[in-house]
């Protein structure tokens, strides 16, 4: 029989139960819990060197960014991000000492807060799923599973690996071992160092670097070399569609279907069919209207300049023939040149002047035999001279000015549109010398082609670096962190995360990705983070990907569990975490992260940006206008309709601008912010925000209990329940052991960097250093955790009894 208490609980609204879950957020942080700047520096440096850095750094190479755009664009974009934290997020957090949840609760009402939390839960699950996918890309290596870089997994075993990794991550998140949290803290400096070591060890395979100038040249020519091959002109010639290519930058190549390092390309790219092309008879076709077509690459030759005949000796003439033969496969018409070369070779192998075959062969014995043959074959006197074929006249080849692709299908005699889908495997992929491929596209004749992925330029990179953490700074989610700051200027400590993780780590990941693409002779978009890291650093690199995925998925999964408690407020914490983990693992089975992470990050920020905009307007602009803050809450409204409509207007504008291709996703932040702010100001004025009412206070009554610290945020240490005498006795021992293990951990990091430098300088080979990096990593983890353990003991011993 249900008790009266049970009946009361059932009648209790979901909003009241949600408020109980977030009781700790209702009371502002007290001065005794404020933290020093060192904590914020360590927090941001650790959180922003994550598994996604491996992916984002490689995506800049995939999308055809240029060196100047990456180096300077990331610098400017990260400055904007740091300023957003410092001038917007941190001041509001310091002035209110509240989290965004409870502050927005007073502005938007409980209904809008529930919507915000549900949206956050979904986005956190997707983000945590991305981390698990990245970690699984390294775990798959021992099982021989090929890289998975499409929307859907191509190998069922990869799904098994993802489920296994997800199960481990979810279990650790539920158990919440304290030592695992310490281990995550230890991993942060090591992971950053692995980015640097990977770049140093792979840079020599990309190009020779002796100074800063040569480094810049190598970066421009072989790493961030700009857009890859693309379609400049689409026209019809009879029953064929002709595609004129641009941005080739050197010779064009078609890759073979092969695996492993050094897999070859086609000898003559003009003699092989190109897969992935489709034709349609209408200019605006539906997907079902396209028919598979045959396509071949064709060279565009220039005019041949007349050159005087050369009277060089026979040896130089044969060498030129052989060089021409070796290059002929690259530029077409290989059969004619190869036939001439074969004839010249047969002449060289035949006996001359009636001599025997033995006399015609090169003599490596005494001087007397070699001298006679040498005089007869080469016309010289004395010494050894191998037989050389007579000079064979080879017609000089005209220079190649460019390339075109001819597409034809017997089923479509009058084609009007063409579509290209890049092969999922390396076979048949058209790419330049840096293995930047021809991207998928669809186009009609005499119209601009529609590429599936447009190249990104300087401002794209600037805005992406700015909006990469848009939900945290302009979206104000990091109010939960900066409410513990002593000053709003502590927002500048976010620079440790931006310029170590989002600048240095991204650049290093790009170098490793470019080196892996050249080594495997495969587009980087067909390689995952695990394969790139394993190629660069061996098992230490694979371990770095796994740890980076786990250490970032774990707290993200925890945040998703908190947000999901909106709809499950009476469930135990472990069950909510299990639910979030199940959703996250299911998402992780789809490896879209390796190609579409930048899009997701942009969408994530845009979806939550209007919430921060509404808070900024009501917090700063309303007092300037003389309007009433928390006007909707003071009227007892469960929903701030003006805020909901403003949120919808901002997102609606973003959807229209993006889908109509009027504005790139990365540039939506400015119009969305302005549209949300203007709409909210107008609607709030119409709904009564400009008319002040008598109210007991600006916010709801705060509970009298002291604030409880949030797991994952900062909490003042609790004094240990031990006597002062044993504590003082252990101080000396703890200090000594802490220093020993701390020094040992530091030496492991220095040794890892030193070995990587030796590889870069050419003193050691990468294959010999890679196992050493793994041993140093394991030693670092052990000594680092012991260092933190003894440091904690020392801090506990110093607490007053």
- β-strands 253-254, 430-431: how paired? antiparallel
For residue 222, give the DSSP letter: I
Predicted pLDDT of residue 693: 58
Sequence-separated (6 or more) residues with CB below 8 Å from residue 699: 106, 630, 633
Q: In what order do the strands lie in the sheet with 277-280?
A: 291-292, 277-280, 417-420, 441-444, 450-451
Predicted pLDDT of residue 572: 80
Instruction: Return d(Cα 56, Cα 468) in angstroms, integer.
Output: 10
Q: Half-sphere exposure (CA, 13 Å, Cβ side) for 730?
A: 17
328, 396 Cβ separation under 8 angstroms? no
530, 548 Cβ separation under 8 angstroms? no
Predicted pLDDT of residue 160: 92
Predicted pLDDT of residue 42: 81
pLDDT band at 765; cut points 50, 70, 90: very high
Predicted pLDDT of residue 515: 93
Predicted pLDDT of residue 26: 60
Q: What is the DSSP string of 121-175?
A: HHHHHHHHHHHHHHHHHHHTGGGTPPP--SSS-S-HHHHHHHHHHHHHHHHHHHH
464-476 pLDDT per residue, tens: 999 998 989 999 9
296-355 pLDDT per residue, tens: 999 888 776 655 544 444 444 444 434 444 434 444 444 443 443 444 344 344 444 444
Element of type H or E holding 233 = strand 230-237
Sequence-separated (6 or more) residues with CB below 8 Å from residue 494: 40, 44, 81, 82, 85, 86, 473
Beta bridge partners of 291: 279
Instruction: Return d(Cα 687, Cα 432) in angstroms, integer.
Output: 60
Predicted pLDDT of residue 537: 93
CB count, 10 Å around CB of 302?
10
Choose between 451 and 374: higher pLDDT. Answer: 451
Which tokens sit at 698?
């600006």
Instruction: Return d(Cα 656, Cα 659) in angstroms, integer.
Output: 5
Predicted pLDDT of residue 389: 57
Q: What is the mean pLDDT of the chain?
A: 79
CB count, 10 Å around CB of 7?
10
Nearest CA to 55 out of 554, 622, 740, 530 is that of 530
246-299 pLDDT per residue, tens: 888 778 888 887 765 555 788 888 888 999 999 998 888 888 889 999 999 998
352, 376 Cβ separation under 8 angstroms? yes
Predicted pLDDT of residue 555: 78
545, 533 Cβ separation under 8 angstroms? yes
Predicted pLDDT of residue 253: 87
Q: What is the mean pLDDT of residues 447-476?
A: 83
Q: At what angle do helices 766-797 and 178-206 cross, to 10 degrees?
A: 150
Least confident of 88-97, 400-409, 442-451, 536-545: 442-451
668, 658 Cβ separation under 8 angstroms? yes
Instruction: Return d(Cα 614, Cα 112) in angstroms, integer.
Output: 12
Q: What is the CA radius of gyration of the chain?
A: 33
Sequence-separated (6 or more) residues with CB below 8 Å from residue 509: 53, 54, 55, 56, 57, 58, 195, 198, 532
Which tokens sit at 797?
């011993």
Predicted pLDDT of residue 179: 61
Element of type H or E holding 9 = helix 4-11
Q: What is the mean pLDDT of residues 728-750?
A: 82
Predicted pLDDT of residue 381: 42
490-499 pLDDT per residue, tens: 999 999 989 9
96 has a pLDDT exceeding 70:
yes
Choose between 451 and 127: higher pLDDT. Answer: 127
Predicted pLDDT of residue 387: 60
Q: What is the mean pLDDT of residues 390-407?
A: 78
562-601 pLDDT per residue, tens: 777 766 667 787 888 888 889 899 999 988 877 788 888 8
Instruction: Return d(Cα 757, Cα 780) in angstroms, integer.
Output: 19
The sign of the CA dihedral 183, 728, 713, 80 is negative
Instruction: Return d(Cα 416, Cα 199) in angstroms, integer.
Output: 46
743 has a pLDDT exceeding 90:
yes
Q: In what order do the strands lie in the sheet with 400-408?
A: 230-237, 240-246, 400-408, 294-301
Predicted pLDDT of residue 355: 41
pLDDT band at 671; cut points 50, 70, 90: very high
533-571 pLDDT per residue, tens: 999 999 999 999 998 888 788 778 877 877 777 666 677
Predicted pLDDT of residue 44: 87
Count Cβ neighbours within 10 Å for each residue of 141-165 and write b for 16 or more, e otherwise.
Answer: beeebebbbeeebeeeebbbbbbeb
Q: What is the mean pLDDT of residues 613-621?
A: 94
Q: What is the mean pLDDT of residues 162-181?
A: 79
- β-strands 294-301, 400-408: how paired? antiparallel
The pTM score is: 0.79
Predicted pLDDT of residue 499: 93
344-365 pLDDT per residue, tens: 344 344 444 444 433 434 333 3
Instruction: Return d(Cα 98, Cα 702) in angstroms, integer.
Output: 12
Using alpha carbons only, give the angle 109, 486, 613 rounded to the nearest 5 degrees.
Answer: 35
Least confident of 4-8, 336-340, 507-511, 763-767: 336-340
Strands of 450-564, DSSP E: 450-451
653 has a pLDDT exceeding 90:
yes
Instruction: Return d(Cα 494, Cα 12) in angstroms, integer.
Output: 41
Instruction: Return d(Cα 487, Cα 516) in angstroms, integer.
Output: 45
- Burial class from Cβ neighbours inside 10 Å (0-12, 13-18, 19+) for residue 4 reads exposed
pLDDT band at 452; cut points 50, 70, 90: low
105 has a pLDDT exceeding 50:
yes
Q: How many whole angstroms from its chain centre is CA 713?
A: 27
Euclidean distance between the first and final Cα of the chain, in Å? 49
263, 256 Cβ separation under 8 angstroms? yes
718 has a pLDDT exceeding 70:
no
Beta bridge partners of 631: none
pLDDT band at 201; cut points 50, 70, 90: very high
711, 558 Cβ separation under 8 angstroms? yes
Q: How many whole angstroms from its chain centre is CA 84?
A: 22
Element of type H or E holding 253 = strand 253-254
Which tokens sit at 777?
């990593």
The sign of the CA dihedral 142, 50, 615, 647 is negative
Q: Let me know how long the chain is.
A: 801
pLDDT band at 697; cut points 50, 70, 90: very low
Strands of 304-427, DSSP E: 400-408, 417-420
Choose between 700 and 184: higher pLDDT. Answer: 184
């Amino acid at each position: 029989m249900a008790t009266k208490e049970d009946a009361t609980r059932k009648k209790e609204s979901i909003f009241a139960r949600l408020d109980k879950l977030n009781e700790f957020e209702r009371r502002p942080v007290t001065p005794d819990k404020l933290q020093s700047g060192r904590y914020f520096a360590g927090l941001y440096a650790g959180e922003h060197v994550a598994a996604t850095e491996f992916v984002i750094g490689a995506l800049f190479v995939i999308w055809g960014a240029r060196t100047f755009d990456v180096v300077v664009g990331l610098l400017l974009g990260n400055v904007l991000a740091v300023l957003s934290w410092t001038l917007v997020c941190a001041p509001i957090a310091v002035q209110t000492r509240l989290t965004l949840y409870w502050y927005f609760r007073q502005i938007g009402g409980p209904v809008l807060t529930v919507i915000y939390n549900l949206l956050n839960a979904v986005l956190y699950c997707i983000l945590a799923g991305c981390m698990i996918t990245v970690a699984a890309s390294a775990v798959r290596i021992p099982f021989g599973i090929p890289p998975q870089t499409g929307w859907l997994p191509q190998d069922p075993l990869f799904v098994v690996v993802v489920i296994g990794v997800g199960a481990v991550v979810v279990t650790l998140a539920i158990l919440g071992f304290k030592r695992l949290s310490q281990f995550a803290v230890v991993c942060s400096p090591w992971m950053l160092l692995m980015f640097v070591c990977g770049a140093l060890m792979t840079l020599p395979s990309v190009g020779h670097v002796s100074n800063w100038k040569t480094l810049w040249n190598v970066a421009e020519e072989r790493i961030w070399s700009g857009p890859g091959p693309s379609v400049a002109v689409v026209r019809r010639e009879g029953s064929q569609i002709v595609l004129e290519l641009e941005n080739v930058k050197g010779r064009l190549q078609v890759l073979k279907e092969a695996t492993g390092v050094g897999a070859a390309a086609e000898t003559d790219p003009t003699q092989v069919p190109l897969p992935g092309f489709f034709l349609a008879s209408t200019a605006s076709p539906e997907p079902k209207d396209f028919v598979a077509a045959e396509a071949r690459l064709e060279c565009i030759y220039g005019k041949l300049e007349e050159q005087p005949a050369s009277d060089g000796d026979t040896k130089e003439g044969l060498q030129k023939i052989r060089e021409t033969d070796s290059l002929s496969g690259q530029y077409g018409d290989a059969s004619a040149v190869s036939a001439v070369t074969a004839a010249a070779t047969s002449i060289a192998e035949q006996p001359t002047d009636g001599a025997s075959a033995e006399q015609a062969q090169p003599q490596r014995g005494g001087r007397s035999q070699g001298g006679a043959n040498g005089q007869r074959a080469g016309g010289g006197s004395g010494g050894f001279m191998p037989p050389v074929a007579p000079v064979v006249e080879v017609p000089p080849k005209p220079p190649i000015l460019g390339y075109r692709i001819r597409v034809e299908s017997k089923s479509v005699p009058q084609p009007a549109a063409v579509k290209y889908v890049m092969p999922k495997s390396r076979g048949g992929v058209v790419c330049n010398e840096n293995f930047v491929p021809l991207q998928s596209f669809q186009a009609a004749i005499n119209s601009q082609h529609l590429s599936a992925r447009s190249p990104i330029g300087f401002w794209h990179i600037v805005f992406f670096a700015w909006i990469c953490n848009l939900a945290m700074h302009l979206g104000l989610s990091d109010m939960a962190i900066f409410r513990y700051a002593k000053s709003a200027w502590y927002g500048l400590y976010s620079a440790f995360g931006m310029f170590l993780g989002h600048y240095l780590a991204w650049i290093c990941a790009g170098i490793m990705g470019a080196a892996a693409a050249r080594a495997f002779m495969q587009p980087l978009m067909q390689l995952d983070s695990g394969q790139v890291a394993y190629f660069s650093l061996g098992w230490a690199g694979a371990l770095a990907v796994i740890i980076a995925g786990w250490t970032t998925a774990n707290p993200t999964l925890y945040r998703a569990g908190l947000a999901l408690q909106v709809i499950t407020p009476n469930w135990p914490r472990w069950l909510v975490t299990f639910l979030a983990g199940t959703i996250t693992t299911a998402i992780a089975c789809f490896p879209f992260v390796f190609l579409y992470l930048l899009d997701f990050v942009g969408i994530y920020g845009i979806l939550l940006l209007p919430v921060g905009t509404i808070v900024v307007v009501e917090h700063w602009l309303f007092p300037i206008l003389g309007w009433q803050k928390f006007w909707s809450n003071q009227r007892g409204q469960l929903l701030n309709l003006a805020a909901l409509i403003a949120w919808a207007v901002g997102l609606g504008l973003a959807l229209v601008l993006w889908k109509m291709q009027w504005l790139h996703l990365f540039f939506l932040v400015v119009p969305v912010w302005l549209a949300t702010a203007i709409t909210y100001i107008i609607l709030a004025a119409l709904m009564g925000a400009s008319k002040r009412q008598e109210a007991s206070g600006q916010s709801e009554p705060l509970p009298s209990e002291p604030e409880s610290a949030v797991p994952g945020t900062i909490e003042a240490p609790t004094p240990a329940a031990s006597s002062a005498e044993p504590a003082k006795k252990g101080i000396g021992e703890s200090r000594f052991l802490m220093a020993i293990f701390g020094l040992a951990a530091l030496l492991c990091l220095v040794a890892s960097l030193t070995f990587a430098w030796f590889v870069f300088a050419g003193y050691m080979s990468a294959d010999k250093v890679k196992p050493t990096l793994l041993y140093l990593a394991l030693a670092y983890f052990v000594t680092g955790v012991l260092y933190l353990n003894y440091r904690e003991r020392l801090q506990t011993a110093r607490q007053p009894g």
